[in-house]
């Protein structure tokens, strides 16, 4: 299996079978002869798919919807390599024509003609001719027009452009120091001695930014549980919850357990923590991290968070609802998100979040605290649900750093886009 075949299989799985790009790259990593090229082409192809399809549409007499998925995928790989990686030699075309023979033999001439025509007239074909600003932005930054318009309608043009420009930028990896086993200065020095370039976090006192993260999880320090990988905005959600030692805590939508484990570290292994998530398949990963980090008193449950769980009623001093969301704040790390989200999806998710929040309020004791967070942006999932909580007579707002809520912008904070709000329960 050559690298183009690997790229083809990964992209097919991600685009047409809802696989995750990072998982697929990891699965094929040992088979690739040039893993950096495979990784760059997979992510680049996903990040530029709409723009690439726009250029293919100019060349093809066949409508894109009529082109076989396998053939379109090969064309997308080719255009990405030619235009973005500047591999304009015809050897690349020949390799992709050979791949077409294996996947859809009757289309070899079509693929050959399209890619060679693109090389000859690339400069003109790359130009975007659209009078509608939103449509033009959608093509240029390969973001679905419906989602682009959703962001624009609420935030305006300056925000939309900044967000789209930033969406594909590789964000710095941040790690969370496990203070049960070490401290920030100690792990910083250990990693620097191993050749890692480290900076102090800008948001979390337990955060460190790693500028060259390759090989990070292979270190002894990771395996021994001295740190875990977590973006700083995600850490902030737990710090806003500010759970106390010797308390009862519920992480209602816990997978993959990153915040759950931070709660355990934050409360120094003294609290009773329930980590609940509907997906039993993710229990193994959560348990592995609990063990690696040296955590105790964490119990896993697998209830549907949108249904009432009687055993949880009025039981918890602290409840974190990091709800299932559209993930528009993390597209830089998960580029495939943009292709399986639309306005209808966002509406459904906002309704699901509200159902979960209605139940979560019932699980918090009088005097207890509820934090609602998402890794997305837009009014439906964030501010509208914040207003829903504000209107609940059993809750009172707890300000965060002098604000009613925090809404991190990825293009300003160099972290995931994130929304965080906090409430105190005042009635049973």
- Look at residue 171 in the predicted model and tell me its pLDDT: 73
Q: Is a pLDDT exceeding 80 seen at residue 170?
A: no
pLDDT above 90 (res 332): no
CB contact at 8 A, 234 and 227: no
* Record: fold of 173-229: Alpha-Beta Plaits (3.30.70)
DSSP state of 211: S
Decide: helix, strand or coil at residue 313: coil
Range of weakest confidence among 133-142, 166-175, 317-326, 333-342: 166-175
pLDDT over 80 (residue 336): yes
For a pLDDT cut of 70, what percent of the chain falls above it? 100
| 89 pLDDT more than 80 | no
The pLDDT of 177-200, averaged and rounded, is 96
The confidence score (pLDDT) of residue 260 equals 97
pTM for the model stands at: 0.92
Residue whose structure tokens are 């357990």:
257
Pick the range with the lowest mean pLDDT from 161-175, 300-314, 400-414. 161-175
Q: What is the mean pLDDT of residues 407-414?
A: 90
Active-site positions read 375
CA dist list (Å): 314 to 235, 248, 264, 385, 405? 26, 11, 21, 22, 25
Answer whether 3-125 and 173-229 agree in fold: no
345 pLDDT above the threshold of 80:
yes
Cis peptide before 183 (omega within 30 of 0): no
Whole-number Å distance between alpha carbons of 315 and 90:
67
Q: Where are the domains of the chain?
A: 3-125, 133-167, 173-229, 232-425
Query: What are 298's strand-pairing partners?
Result: 273
What is the predicted pLDDT for the residue at 427? 86
Which residues, including other chains, have CB under 8 Å from residue 78's CB and lie 6 or more apart? 92, 93, 96, 111, 114, 115, 118
pLDDT-based confidence at 87, cuts 50/70/90?
A: confident
3-state secondary structure at position 111: helix
- Integer CA distances (angstroms), 413 to 23, 232, 239, 375, 416, in order: 27, 9, 17, 13, 8
Q: Give the fold, CATH level 3, of 232-425.
A: Rossmann fold (3.40.50)
Q: What pLDDT was estimated at residue 214?
A: 85
SS3 assignment, position 76: helix
Cα three-residue angle 397-401-404, rounded to 5 degrees: 35
User: Is residue 154 within 8 Å of residue 267, measured between CB atoms?
Assistant: no
Q: Which two tokens stand for residue 383?
A: 């501010």
Structure tokens at 65: 């919807």
Superfamily for 3-125? NusB-like (1.10.940.10)
Name the residue with tokens 């639309």: 342
Between the two ends of the chain, the Cα-to-Cα distance in Å is 62
Q: Do 167 and 151 contact (CB within 8 A), yes or no? A: no
pLDDT digits (tens, 9 = 90+) for 6-25: 999 999 999 999 899 989 99
Burial of 66 (0-12, 13-18, 19+ CB in 10 A): exposed
Using 50, 70 and 90 to split pLDDT, how confident is the model at 428? confident
Q: Are strands 207-210 and 316-322 parallel, antiparallel or unpaired?
A: unpaired
Task: Tell me the average pLDDT of the chain.
Answer: 94
**How many Å apart are CA 191 and CA 184, to the nearest integer?**
11
DSSP 428: -
| pLDDT in the model for residue 91 | 87
């Amino acid at each position: 299996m050559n690298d183009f075949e690997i790229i083809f299989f990964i992209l097919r799985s991600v685009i047409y079978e809802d696989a995750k790009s990072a998982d697929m790259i990891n699965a094929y990593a040992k088979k690739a002869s040039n893993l950096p090229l495979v990784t760059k082409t997979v992510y680049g192809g996903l990040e530029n798919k709409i723009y690439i399809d726009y250029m293919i549409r100019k060349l093809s007499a066949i409508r894109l919807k009529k082109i076989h998925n396998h053939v379109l995928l090969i064309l997308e790989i080719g255009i990405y390599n030619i235009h973005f990686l500047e591999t304009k030699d015809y050897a690349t075309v020949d390799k992709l024509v050979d791949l077409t023979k294996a996947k859809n033999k009757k289309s070899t001439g079509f693929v050959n003609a399209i890619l060679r025509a693109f090389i000859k007239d690339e400069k003109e074909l790359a130009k975007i001719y659209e009078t509608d600003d939103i449509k033009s932005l959608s093509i240029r930054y390969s973001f679905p027009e419906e989602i682009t318009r959703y962001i624009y309608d609420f935030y305006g043009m300056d925000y939309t452009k900044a967000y789209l420009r930033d969406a594909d930028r590789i964000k710095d990896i941040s790690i969370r120091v496990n203070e049960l086993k070490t401290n920030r200065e100690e792990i910083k020095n250990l990693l620097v001695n191993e050749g890692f370039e480290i900076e102090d976090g800008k948001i979390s006192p337990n955060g460190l930014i790693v500028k060259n993260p390759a090989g990070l999880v292979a270190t002894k320090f990771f395996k021994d549980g001295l740190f875990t990988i977590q973006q700083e905005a995600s850490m902030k959600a737990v710090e806003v919850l500010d759970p106390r030692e010797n308390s009862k805590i519920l992480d209602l939508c816990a997978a993959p357990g990153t915040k759950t484990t931070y709660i355990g570290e934050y409360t120094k292994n003294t609290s009773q923590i329930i980590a609940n998530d509907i997906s039993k398949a993710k229990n193994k990963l959560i348990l592995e991290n609990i063990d690696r980090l040296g955590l105790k008193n964490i119990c896993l449950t697998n209830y549907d968070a949108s249904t009432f769980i009687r055993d949880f009623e009025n039981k918890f001093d602290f409840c974190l609802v990091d709800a299932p969301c559209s993930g528009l704040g993390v597209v830089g790390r998960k580029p495939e998100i943009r292709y399986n989200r639309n306005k209808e999806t966002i509406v459904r998710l906002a309704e699901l979040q509200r159902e979960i929040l209605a139940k979560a309020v019932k699980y918090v004791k009088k005097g207890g605290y509820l934090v609602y967070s998402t890794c997305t942006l837009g009014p439906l999932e964030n501010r509208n649900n914040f207003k829903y909580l504000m209107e609940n007579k059993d809750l009172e707002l707890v300000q965060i750093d002098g604000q009613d809520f925090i809404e991190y912008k990825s293009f300003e904070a160099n972290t995931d886009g994130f929304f965080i709000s906090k409430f105190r329960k005042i009635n049973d």
